Amino acid sequence: MLRLTRPQARSLRGCFCSQKRFHHHHKNVMAIRREDINVWERRAPLAPRHVKEITAAGHKVLVQPSNRRAIHERYYEKAGAIIQEDISEASLIIGVKRPPEEKVYPHKTYAFFSHTIKAQEANMGLLDDILKKEVRLIDYEKMVDANGFRIVAFGQWAGVAGMINILHGLGLRFLALGHHTPFMHIGMAHNYRNVSQAIQAVRDCGYEISLGLMPKSIGPLTFVFTGTGNVSKGAQEIINELPCEFVEPHELKEVSLSGDMTKVYATVLSRHHHLVRKSDGVYDPLEYEHHPELYTSHFRVSVAPYTTCLINGIYWDPQTPRLLRRHDAQRLLKPIRPSAAATEGSPELPHKLLAICDISADTGGSIEFMTECTTIEKPFCMYDADQHIDHDRYKTHTSTHMSDYIDHDSVEGTGILMCSIDNLPAQLPIEATEYFGDRLFPYIWEMLSSDARRPLDEEDFSPQVKDAVITSNGGLTPKFEYIEKLREKRLLIREKEQILRKGGMKRVLLLGSGYVSGPVIEYLTRNTGIQVTVASVLLSQAEELAAKYPNTIPVMLDVTSQEGHMESLVKDHDLVISMLPYGYHPLVAKHCINKKVNLVTASYLSPAMKELQKSAEEAGITIVNEMGLDPGIDHMLAMECIDQAKADGATVEFYTSYCGGLPAPECSDNPLRYKFSWSPYGVLLNTISPAVFLKDGQVIEIPAGGALLESTIPMDFLPGFNLEGFPNRDSTKYAEPYGIQSAHTLIRGTLRFRGFSSAMSGFVKLGLINTEPCPMLHHTAAPVSWKALLCKQVGLPASVGDEAFQEAVFERIDKDNFRMEMLKWFGMLSEEAVPHADSILGAVAKHLEARLAFDKGERDMIIMRNDVGIRHSSGELETKHISLVVYGEQNGFSAMAKTVGYPAAIAASMVLNGEISTKGLVVPMTKDIYGPVLTKLKEEGLQFTTKSTLYE
């Protein structure tokens, strides 16, 4: 007889020793939350009698109202609980199943089944939210005793409900195969008022079996139970209500062939019955515990062929052997040749294995082909191993009338009847609540004292509770840090399948989903033979891009912490395009070299990249660098002009090149006359960088720290734009690659609208372009106002009056009214909070980005001007004026995106097609590269104009 009462060894009154240990004098508040994830979830973690003892001990218990809960809230109220919607007062919130992310309160202790310990994808969003909100999560599944057995679980009731369901399912399956059986009078578990009614139905079925009313042509029925835990025991309690004889696994074959038809047979399968070491066929239990990967299961040949119904209740881990795989099912479902006794009215079964009740509900687990759980609404499906499909699930009804259960479309035909409901105890909610509450109650006392803001080590938790804490203080606890690695592994497998799904494609990995990635994807995917994987730390950005273009796959990748992931992605592609900040390119290049995959970047060829020349050549790969706007288009326009001059027998006497990404004039209405179309941090950092250039034969060096802004000069080549320019980096190093060592002037610079340098100098003079760590701005520090920060920068106390404060700032910026108005415009003389950042520069970048972002419909603009002084053999001096002006498209690609993205995409296409085949490091300074690229850029609407000025 099924034992429905609480466990004798742990009575409630016997728990007051635990209560006294953990009880504090002040009143604690706990809450029982409403179950709202599944319509069938009618359980609660504690019954009213448990709540009564907690309130009697002086604690406050809140219960969220729920008409769905099987135990009426009046009984909780009678036990001393307060029924109310708002449970934010509670420090401990308990439930059965997971809450929705939006209903998780920060800095609380939660206890529920999170289903995160195997990195289950469906619950990773919840886990991330819990970590972000610094919730302490106690997972019932990991509350175990000294022997590793779970102590807080519904396992027995999962077994009870699962067994009732599969007996009901067998009745349907037998009927579909032409047999009315006593099982037809057993309903689904939830159709009974309580488990006693269900047991009576099973007994009635058993009585008919004992009378010999089972069809003879189906042969003896055999049930196999895997595992010896509570799940298996609960299921066995139900089978024992039938006339059942338990046999050893090795006896199953005999009874399946010649057993007594007035009874059913069952066997319980333990590890030693079917697991053997791959090398010698021996089972060593100790070795198996530590190295299950060394073992295999012979269940498929020794037990499965003689099994009518498998009830699977074992925990599965990826390292452990599977019970059944797809090809095992194909063999088991081969039709049996009918005997001479078979007739149309008395058919034999098509195969022995008719049904599987996978109570473990581990998708893709010990039953490999169970890839999706069934539901209480649709509890059954037919698995056809030859087609490898699950036919439509049979939908059950609330009636117990026989005719209401027949759905021939889903229980007829070839296959195995599958039942894999993952919330079985919800079908018997009252008994399950009482049972579960008895096991949880002894540990509630210590959970009540939990403060999620305290370090976990400061809590007085028992091992059973402490070892079940998955998250605390914003991180995974040491025991569960593996979850992050498991997530990465799962992600890699899923991504790999998606990336390699289409055969015959050239695969491009695009690192970065920022401003310039759109044109790259748009250009490449015009070719239906190219597939692009866009990888970004911001998955939503990558998904947004992928949704716009064909053959584009979004993946999440943080190159700073997921090198293994990046290596796997690189391996699965033919070419990588890196649109990451230039500092990451050497790391990306090393992975490309290791996996022999070509690479394209739009950034400068850094010293760290130059060191990889030999490695790239030896790997036989091409790494194209400086294939953007500046560097990129500037090089190609310069070399086209210089190479032509040399071909004409002329020499180059001077070269100047200025380029700038700017807002269109109508969008430049701010003190900086600037808006950000690329990294704000990089833009600001460049203003304090050093610069070197050649002017009239003299090398001029500008030191770092802001002197660059003092060397700004007006640029009048397009006077309507009111431009200014200042040198950029080391211009002199281009004399050799350009082949213009004879030039007396060589300057490469940056363009801005006039007024930018003066305004930016104000930031420099106030020490705001500072990359040093600033603890007062760290995300854990208290908020700081701009006024307080500037007081610190000019040496004043934060309490100084506004007049004295502004006077000191005015003095520091050289009493420049324009700069003062600029600071006011940006709110940097106010009590407005400074954004949290690692440095002052980081905070300024965030602040300016928020105020200087392009609004919807606004345009940016690119201006580039190359002036090349050519001395002809006749003595004439000709200046070639090469200009490029590009406007962004309203609600389309920005000018910056087009002028950086298209060159990179064109180069990538040329590498894939073999048009760029040079091995090692490549820059676009040779005609075989710049010629085709410039031609293709013109086809994309980038028009370059060239004018000449001649001097005698």
Catalytic residues: 630
Distance CA 810, CA 829 (A): 11
CA distances from 938 to 756, 861, 905, 945 (A): 31, 17, 14, 11
DSSP class of residue 98 equals P
The β-bridge partners of 860 are: 663
CA contacts within 13 A on the Cβ side of 592? 34
Tokens found for residue 158 = 């999962």
Please write down the HEC assignment for all residues of 721-771.
HCEEEEECCECHHHHHHHCCCCCCEEEEEEEEECCHHHHHHHHHHCCCCCC
Burial class (CB in 10 A: 0-12, 13-18, 19+), 780: exposed
Distance CA 547, CA 542 (A): 9
Rg of the chain taking only CA atoms, in angstroms: 37
Contact at 8 Å (CB) between 241 and 186? no
Please write down the HEC assignment for all residues of 114-147.
CCCCCCCHHHHHHHHHHHHCCCEEEEHHHCECCC
CA 766 to chain centre: 41
Cis bond before residue 425 (omega within 30° of 0): no
Coil, helix or strand for 223? strand
CA 663 to chain centre: 35
CA distances from 48 to 63, 194, 625, 896 (A): 11, 18, 70, 65
Instruction: Classify strands 275-277 and 295-297 as parallel, antiparallel or unpaired.
Output: antiparallel
Contact at 8 Å (CB) between 632 and 903? yes
CB atoms within 10 A of CB 189: 26
Distance CA 131, CA 119 (A): 14
Instruction: Classify strands 506-511 and 82-83 as parallel, antiparallel or unpaired.
Output: unpaired
Distance CA 203, CA 827 (A): 80
Coil, helix or strand for 619? helix
User: Closest Cα to residue 174, out of 237, 212, 219?
Assistant: 219
The β-bridge partners of 920 are: 622
Phi, psi of 782 (to 5 degrees): -65, 150
Distance CA 124, CA 138 (A): 16
DSSP assignment string, 367-406? BTT--S---SSS-BEEEETTTTEEPPPBPP-S---GGGG-
Tell me the residue length of the chain. 952
Coil, helix or strand for 659? strand
Which residue has 């970004």 as its token pair?
A: 536
In the chain, % helix, strand, coil (3-state, to 5) comes to: 40, 20, 40
DSSP class of residue 652 equals E
Distance CA 799, CA 516 (A): 45
Contact at 8 Å (CB) between 508 and 553? no
DSSP class of residue 159 equals H
Distance CA 908, CA 899 (A): 15
Phi, psi of 202 (to 5 degrees): -65, -40
